[in-house]
Amino acid sequence: MVIKKIIPSMVLGLFIVAAGGAGCQTAGTTPEAKPQPSTGATTSKSADDESMGKATEKQAEELRLTKQQREDMENLQWRKLSKASKDLHTAAFRGDTKWAEELIKGGAKVNGRSLKDESALTIASFRGMAPMVRLLLKNGSDINAMDKQGQTALMKACAAEREEVVRVLLKSHAKLDLQDKMGTTALMFSALGRNNEIVRSLLKYGAKINIRNKEGKTALAMAEGFENQQVVQMLKAAGGVR
């Protein structure tokens, strides 16, 4: 069973410390003359300054995220993506729709996948970024795409209890009864949570109640194991069995 609230982070940036060493002079001692830097040294210093500037800019960007967010983003394993598509994943993670629109107009692939087969949509769905989810769907994002665990955007939204995102995905005709590699459905993920409205919405849209995962458990059995009595009663009323 994939634990809820995964999620999916950048490597902690290097902290660049500029240490200046001021020379000490003993009273009465004539200081040594400092050699004049050569032209080559000046050029090298300029290059170093430029490099330092870029590194500091990158550091500042990374520090805008919490440590956990950086770890989550690194776990997405973006190495096979183009820069534009990687940036779109970052925008999806943050919920930055304005940036995402610019990237899409510039040619970023909305269905670009990380090494773990995460898409911008699965990231935004797990993070609860409903406006981003709408934007991605409007621009052709594959609503039923699965990651390497076989999980869809709907499964991830249910696992993370993102009620608004679930509503958006259901209205956009996400498939309800797909199963991940463990046989878990969106309804099963929601049965393990505490958001009863998500369970109610899935049932309203026709989610099959008695599908079994690879352990032979139904959504009802999972809800009972999690001692979520309201969901248990809801599933029983809808014809759920153990």
Q: For residue 103, is it within any domain?
A: yes
The Cα 16–Cα 58 span in angstroms is 11
Confidence of residue 19 (pLDDT cuts 50, 70, 90): very low
Kindly state whether residues 164 and 189 are assigned to the same domain.
Answer: no
Q: Domain check: are 147 and 191 in the same one? A: no
Look at residue 84 in the predicted model and tell me its pLDDT: 82
Question: 183 and 162: one domain?
Answer: no
Task: Indicate the residue among 175, 198, 218 that finishes a domain.
Answer: 175
Do 84 and 101 fall within a single domain? yes
Provide the residue range defining the domain that includes 226. Answer: 177-242
CATH code assigned at 88: 1.25.40.20
Q: Based on the fold, state whether residues 82 and 167 are members of the same structural domain.
A: yes
More confident call, 89 vs 64:
89
Clarify whether residues 198 and 108 are in a common domain: no
The candidate with the shortest Cα–Cα distance to 207, out of 235, 176, 184, is: 176
pLDDT-wise least confident of 12-21, 150-159, 200-209: 12-21
Residue 169: phi, psi to the nearest 5?
A: -65, -40
80 and 110 in a common domain: yes
Look at 6-15, 62-71, 188-197, 227-236 and tell me which has the smallest mean pLDDT.
6-15
- Give the mean pLDDT of 77-100: 85
Q: Nearest 10 degrees: CA dihedral of 242, 165, 142, 97?
A: -160
Tell whether 59 is covered by a domain: no
Residues 163 and 195 in one domain: no
Per-residue pLDDT tens digits for 149-191: 999 999 999 999 999 999 999 999 999 999 999 999 999 999 9
Residue whose C-alpha is closest to residue 207's, from 185, 224, 191: 185
Residue 55 lies in a domain: no
Q: State residue 85's pLDDT score.
A: 85
Number of domain units in the chain: 2
Residue 31 confidence (pLDDT): 41
Residues 138 and 155 in one domain: yes
- pLDDT tier at 223, thresholds 50, 70, 90: very high
What pLDDT sits at residue 82?
Answer: 73
Q: Which tokens go with 211?
A: 């599908």
One domain, residues 163 and 189? no
What confidence tens digit (pLDDT) does each residue in 28-59 have?
A: 333 444 444 444 444 444 545 555 454 455 45
> Span 51-78, mean pLDDT?
54
For residues 80 and 111, membership in a common domain is answered with yes
**Distance (Å, whole) CA 143 – CA 133:** 9
**Could you tell me if 147 and 217 lie in one domain?**
no
- Beta carbons of 116 and 94 less than 8 angstroms apart: no
In this prediction, residue 83 carries a pLDDT of 81
